Amino acid sequence: MHRVRVWRVGELLVGAAVLALGIGVGGGAAQAPITISVIDVAGDLSSVRDIIENYAKANPQKVKGVTYQRAPAPELPTKIKVQQDAGRVDINLILTGQDAGSVLVQNGQLVRLFPQYDRLLPREELTDAAKVLQDEGEGYLLPSVVSNGGPVFIYNPQKVKQPPRTAEEFRAWVKANPGKFMYARPANSGPGRSILAGLPYILGDRNPKDPVAGWDKTWAFLKEVGEFVEYYPTGTTVTLKEFAEGTRWIIAGIMEWDMKPRAEGTIPPDSKIFVLPNTSFVIDGHYWAIPKGISPAEQEVILDLMKFMRRPEQQVLTWKAFIGPSIKAATLDKAPPDIQKLVRDHWRPEYTDMEKKYKVVAQLPVKQLVAAMDRWDREVGAQRIKKF
């Protein structure tokens, strides 16, 4: 409890500094334009880069430039901590998934957004899935895009004539075809994370929300199947590349990482998917967050950018990345015609009316997700994780 109080005091001090400077969000004294310094560890730029650029063009009095950098999700908390410990935080906008986001929240490295900015960023604007995603962020993470996620399994129909129909058939297939199934490290992969959080539902584990005491079947399954996985890459992109090359015949997927790679020509357009019985689709999405330690002037602009990002006419631009808007008013029919066509050309029937076909569930809470990813690293990935 003491640490929580310390963090809140820190946030109050930031708020006091903002008031002292007279620059409350949405008005007040003019400030020199800032550089928006973005770090993306989730691939969110494919969804929102145009929105950030649109904001910068529309607000030259607030933004003098935008810089971008990318990093693996597991490296982000340490990178931010080094800057915070040095008292010089150069990054003012974090684009993250549930992986690094959950660690940053647990570490107390982020500015709390809710309930302080409930009026600026109203919850009622969100889709149902985005509301779940925001709740998972415990007040520190703002959903930018969201979908029903996965797990789904992408397969090559030229190599896999009859895809597995049950979890047992899938286990048998992996054993009979060593090295032909692949997924990436869950701490840096949405599809990898969907397998990790989705298997307890498929296998009927005792408590799908408790990776420590409730996943006996899941951990046994992952370890057994893992004996026939050649290695685990540290990101999803490698699995797509090796699938396209024909080295892997089945890979883990989620909605985004099934449709977008086909649309971009990264994997063959005739790639298919199968969904195992008892699948509950685990909601997947990307977040925006503000690291503690940036100046009040920077924080004001980033909050204004967050509000801009949620405008329906901006959110519809995110459809091109196939993960989906977080704002319910940003329906596909309001997107530009070229984006509408792109999505419709690569949409699958399995993804229509999903709530009527499957259960859709929240990702693990912060502490449980961190525990699950850590345990996977120790007991499943171990020496088989391969960096590129």
Is 321:231 a contact under the CB 8 Å cutoff? no
For residue 330, the domain's CATH number is 3.40.190.10
In this structure, are 57 and 186 located in the same domain?
no
In this model, does residue 63 exceed pLDDT 50?
yes
In this structure, are 102 and 223 located in the same domain?
no
In this model, does residue 10 exceed pLDDT 60?
no
Q: Is 38 part of any domain?
A: yes
Which residues form the domain of 224? 149-283+352-386
Give the separation between CA 303 and CA 239, rounded to whole angstroms: 36
Q: Is 345 part of any domain?
A: no
Percent of the chain at pLDDT above 70?
A: 92
What is the pLDDT, as a whole number, of residue 19?
40
In this model, does residue 285 exceed pLDDT 80?
yes
Classify the C-alpha dihedral 117-119-125-128 as positive or negative.
Answer: positive
User: Cβ neighbours of residue 101 under 8 Å, at least 6 residues apart?
Assistant: 137, 140, 141, 287, 289
Give the separation between CA 365 and CA 123, rounded to whole angstroms: 19
Q: Is 157 part of any domain?
A: yes
What is the pLDDT, as a whole number, of residue 55?
98
282: helix, strand or coil: strand
Instruction: Flag the least confident range among 77-81, 242-246, 248-252, 353-357.
Output: 353-357
In this structure, are 372 and 329 located in the same domain?
no
**Number of domains composing the chain:** 2
Q: Is 344 part of any domain?
A: no
Taking only the tens place, the pLDDT of each residue in 340-372 is: 999 999 999 999 999 999 999 999 999 999 999
216-226 and 167-176 helices, crossing angle to 10°: 20
In this structure, are 243 and 213 located in the same domain?
yes
Nearest of 286, 290, 288, 287 to residue 110 by alpha carbon: 290
In this structure, are 75 and 32 located in the same domain?
yes
What is the pLDDT, as a whole number, of residue 31?
86
For the chain, give the number of residues.
388
What is the pLDDT, as a whole number, of residue 7?
35
Residue 387 pLDDT grade (very low, low, confident, very high; cuts 50, 70, 90): confident
Q: Is 347 part of any domain?
A: no
User: Cβ neighbours of residue 343 under 8 Å, at least 6 residues apart?
Assistant: 259, 319, 320, 322, 332, 335
Q: In what order do the strands lie in the sheet with 152-155?
A: 181-182, 250-253, 152-155, 272-274
Residue 383 pLDDT grade (very low, low, confident, very high; cuts 50, 70, 90): confident
In this model, does residue 93 exceed pLDDT 80?
yes
In this structure, are 176 and 62 located in the same domain?
no
The tokens describing 122, both together, are 């109203």
Give the separation between CA 103 and CA 74, rounded to whole angstroms: 9
Give the separation between CA 182 and CA 243, rounded to whole angstroms: 9
In this structure, are 368 and 277 located in the same domain?
yes
Give the separation between CA 321 and CA 259, rounded to whole angstroms: 9
Give the separation between CA 366 and CA 104, rounded to whole angstroms: 10
Taking only the tens place, the pLDDT of each residue in 119-155 is: 999 999 999 999 999 999 999 999 999 999 999 999 9
Beta-bridged to residue 285, according to DSSP, are 146
In this structure, are 75 and 116 located in the same domain?
yes
In this structure, are 185 and 137 located in the same domain?
no
What is the pLDDT, as a whole number, of residue 319?
97
Taking only the tens place, the pLDDT of each residue in 148-198 is: 999 999 999 999 999 999 999 999 999 999 999 999 999 999 999 999 999
Q: Which amino acid is at 302?
A: I
Average pLDDT over residues 6-15: 39
Q: Is 26 part of any domain?
A: yes
Average pLDDT over residues 239-247: 98
In this structure, are 30 and 120 located in the same domain?
yes
In this structure, are 17 and 60 located in the same domain?
yes
In this structure, are 239 and 306 located in the same domain?
no
What is the pLDDT, as a whole number, of residue 388?
60
Give the separation between CA 18 and CA 27, rounded to whole angstroms: 11
For tokens 């971008």, name the residue: 68
What is the pLDDT, as a whole number, of residue 386?
83
Q: What ranges in 227-310 are assigned the alpha helix state H? A: 236-245, 255-264, 296-309
Nearest of 335, 339, 348, 341 to residue 321 by alpha carbon: 339
Q: Is 73 part of any domain?
A: yes
Residue 316 pLDDT grade (very low, low, confident, very high; cuts 50, 70, 90): very high
Q: Which region, left, alpha or beta, applies to residue 226 given φ > 0 means left and ψ of -120 to 50 means alpha?
A: alpha
In this model, does residue 48 exceed pLDDT 70?
yes
Residue 384 pLDDT grade (very low, low, confident, very high; cuts 50, 70, 90): confident
